[in-house]
Amino acid sequence: MSGVIDVSARIPDRLTFWQRLYLPEIFRGMAVTLRHLVLNVVNPRRMPTIQYPEQKRNYSARFRGKHILKTREDGTLKCVACYMCAQACPAECITIVAGEHPKIAYEKYPVVFDIDMMRCVFCGYCVDACPKDAIWMTRNYEMAFFTREEAVFSIDRLRESKAEIDAHGYGYRPYYPGDGTTPPTDASRLPVVAGSGERDALRQAGVALPNRHVGAGPLNATSQAAKFTA
């Protein structure tokens, strides 16, 4: 801790005659701006301007851009339609309809998985909430739509594609190797919990599992409120 300083006392209240002449001060100011100009012309690398679109800002590996749905090695989506991301989303912009997967080990899968980009606030809560490492974000921010309908991304536009990752790179995700966070042991081969044992165990522990087989319906603020007023 320390004291209090009076900032006005440190600076003379009245300007000197020289300073009141306008011109010397104006030239002094111009010297400052001119210095920046000259230095920038001599050394263009000093210029802060990013020549987008030719040149892109080097965003970090945590950038929160468009989402992707991760896939397993056999190409199916890792998502098991557990509704965790939809529940965690403050904007209620994720719509999931679950279906039984023909392969018993995968349990459930999303028949519909829509993210309304026109509602999403890119907070990354869905990534944090996913217990299956199924949803990540990318550094892809190049989105602009001509209609609102275009902005609802369904599975075909959310599924991870190599082209997109090559162009933009991964963004926000649960772990970053060598970046202060530990990746799960061999994250690429997450075990698939067989049968419905996992859900049963969760139910036994008293976790209220959502088991919606139909979509949440038209989303609106009252549905969010109903959670609490019930």
Partner 1 sequence: MTVATEPALSPAAERLRGRLAGTPLAGRCEVADRDLPTIEVSPDAWPSLARFLRDDPECRYDLFVDLFGVDNLRRPGQKSRFETVVHLHALARNEHVRVKIPLPDEKKPALPTASEVYPAADWFEREAFDLYGFDFTGHPNLRRILCHDAFVGHALRKDYAPGQRWFFAEEDMKAPEWATHTDERAGHFETQTISIGPSHPATHGIIHLIARLDGEKIIRAETNIGYLHRCFEKMSETHQWNQIVPYCDRLNYVSAMINGVGFVRTAEKMLGIEVPDRGRLVRTILSEFTRIMDHCVCIGANLVDIGALSNFIYLYQNRENIYDLIEACCGARLTVSYVRVGGLAIDVPDDFVPRCRSLLESIPLFLKDVQKLVDNNRIVRQRLQGTGVVTREQAIAWGLTGPMLRASGVPYDVRRARPYDFYDKFDWDVPISNEGDNFARYLVRIEEIRQSLKIIRQALDILPAKGAVSSDDWRVVLPPKDAVYHDMESLIYHFKLVMEGIRVPPGERYEWIEGGNGELGFHAVSDGRGGPYRLRVRPPCFANMQAFQKMVIGGTVSDAVATLGTLNIIAGELDR
Partner 2 sequence: MSSDAPKGTLPALGPAKAGGGAADFLLTRLEEMVSWARKNSLWPFPFATACCGIEFMSVASAHYDISRFGSEVMRFSPRQADLLIVAGTVTDKMAPVLRKIYDQMPEPKWVISMGVCASSGGFYRAYHVTQGIDEIVPVDVYVPGCPPTPEELIYAIMQLQKKIQSGEKSRDQRSAKLAAERIS
Binding site for partner 2 (CB under 8 A): 47-53, 56-57, 90-93, 116-123, 141-148, 151, 219-221, 224
> What tokens appear for 180 in the block?
């202060």
Q: What DSSP state is assigned to residue 151? A: G
> What tokens appear for 125 in the block?
């809560």
77 touches ligand SF4 by CB under 6 A: no
**From the CB of 153, what's the least distance to partner 2, in Å?**
10
> What tokens appear for 86 in the block?
């939809």
198 touches partner 1 by CB under 8 A: yes
Residue type, 90: P
Q: Pick between residue 3 and residue 53 the one whose CB is nearest to partner 2.
A: 53
Between strands 108-116 and 152-153, the pairing is: antiparallel
115 touches ligand SF4 by CB under 6 A: yes
172 touches partner 1 by CB under 8 A: yes
Residue 210 backbone zone (phi > 0: left; psi -120 to 50: alpha; other: beta):
beta
Q: How many residues bind ligand SF4 (CB under 6 A)?
A: 13
76 touches partner 1 by CB under 8 A: no
**From the CB of 38, what's the least distance to partner 1, in Å?**
14
- The contact mask relative to partner 1 for 40-69 (x = CB under 8 A, - = no) is --------x----------xx-xxx-----
157 touches partner 1 by CB under 8 A: no
122 touches ligand SF4 by CB under 6 A: yes
Instruction: Check: CB of residue 196 under 8 Å from CB of residue 203.
Output: no
Residue type, 190: L
The closest of 163, 171, 173 to 140, measured between CA atoms, is 171
79 touches ligand SF4 by CB under 6 A: no
Q: Pick the stretch among 86-94, 102-110, 144-152, 153-161 that binds partner 1 (CB under 8 A).
A: 86-94
112 touches ligand SF4 by CB under 6 A: no
Angle in degrees, CA 158, 160, 163, rounded to 5 = 110
134 touches ligand SF4 by CB under 6 A: no
d(CA 183, CA 55) in angstroms, rounded, equals 31
